[in-house]
Amino acid sequence: MRVIRVGTRKSQLARIQTDSVVATLKALYPGLQFEIIAMSTTGDKILDTALSKIGEKSLFTKELELALERNEVDLVVHSLKDLPTVLPPGFTIGAICKRESPYDAVVFHPKFVGKTLETLPEKSVVGTSSLRRAAQLQRKFPHLEFKSIRGNLNTRLRKLDELQEFSAIILAAAGLQRMGWQNRVGQILHPEECMYAVGQGALGVEVRAKDQDILDLVGVLHDPETLLRCIAERAFLRHLEGGCSVPVAVHTAMKDGQLYLTGGVWSLNGADSMQETMQATIHVPAQHEDGPEDDPQLVGITARNIPQQAQLAAESLGISLATLLLNKGAKNILDVARQLNDAH
């Protein structure tokens, strides 16, 4: 029986996410065996520094990619938002699974349960490890203070509950959902309050780009709508040259053959901001088998069973929106944010 080795981070959430992908694969391929191999990444080890300060793009992926390269694992399951828009040579995202909620959620300290960010007392401290969240929320809720909080979900919830430092923390709704902690969600932030990170809520399966067998194996996991939305989001971010060290956020929707992409950039304190929306006509295909096309990677993704035309239209939408913002002066906002972040 062939054994497929699956790499994952060690955190409980990463394990749950990997287990869900493996369960789907097992159901599709009853003749294969799957072995899960868990490892720690740089981002899991450096816990005393804000993510945006570490200055390493592949914080949560590097060690896993090394294992892929050395042939110690055959595929790796990631939160798509942890995967940089340019992958190291030799790797590709072979599947993007159906997205869960892409929104951010607020979890309150037990003494503030029933509150919202708006109704928290003046100068309440809100924990988030993301410049994107802090910039948008500072602009929207100037009475609050935002402070970095690091660690996996369990650690962050423990810090919230046990230290009297934070009144609330902001986390991805999808992670809380997957952990079964929906009951802790006090508020879901909608796009007008806080747009989400590129790829948030979706899982990506990274494989060796030349490993045709494994590409075919995981390709069936692609969810066409999620794939096209994430191609547009990743193309937008890549063209802006954004990463962890600058506040960039998006919102996408697919409706009646139209893909809508809203993207924004913010200064670190949220005072300066710029956002625009564009749309493109894209028909979400039913999955179909094409003859083997060349595998052009779009923003690090290979999806042979989704028509190339739809993928290119999604990529082009992301690039057009980024170009529009850059032409309106977004580069200046991002450069200043980068310099300030580096200087802190």
Residue extents of the structural domains in the chain = 3-101+198-343, 104-188
Q: Spell out the residues 6+ positions from residue 334 whose beta carbon is closer than 8 angstroms to its own.
A: 240, 241, 242, 246, 248, 265
How is residue 301 annotated by DSSP?
A: B
Rounded mean pLDDT, 3-15: 93
d(CA 300, CA 231): 9
Predicted pLDDT at 54: 40
Predicted pLDDT at 14: 92
Predicted pLDDT at 64: 87
d(CA 140, CA 244): 21
Predicted pLDDT at 283: 78
Q: How far is CA 50 from the centre of its chain?
A: 17
Helices 224-240, 308-327: axis angle to 10 degrees equals 30
% of the chain residues with pLDDT over 90: 75
Please name every residue paired with 104 in a beta bridge, in sequence order, or none if there are none.
Answer: 172, 189
CATH class of residue range 3-101+198-343: alpha beta
pLDDT tens digits, one per residue of 265-285:
999 999 999 999 999 999 776
Based on the number of CB atoms within 10 Å of its own CB, is 180 exposed (0-12), middle (13-18) or buried (19 or more)? Answer: exposed
Confidence class for position 344, pLDDT limits 50, 70, 90: low
How is residue 72 annotated by DSSP?
A: S
pLDDT of 244 higher than 90: no
48 is catalytic: no
Confidence class for position 342, pLDDT limits 50, 70, 90: confident
Is there a contact between 52 and 69 (Cβ–Cβ < 8 Å)? no
CATH class of residue range 104-188: alpha beta
Predicted pLDDT at 59: 53
pLDDT tens digits, one per residue of 145-182:
999 998 889 999 999 999 999 999 999 999 999 999 99
Based on the number of CB atoms within 10 Å of its own CB, is 327 exposed (0-12), middle (13-18) or buried (19 or more)? Answer: exposed
Q: What is the pTM of this model?
A: 0.91
d(CA 179, CA 10): 14
Identity of residue 189: L
Catalytic residue among 44, 48, 74, 82: 82
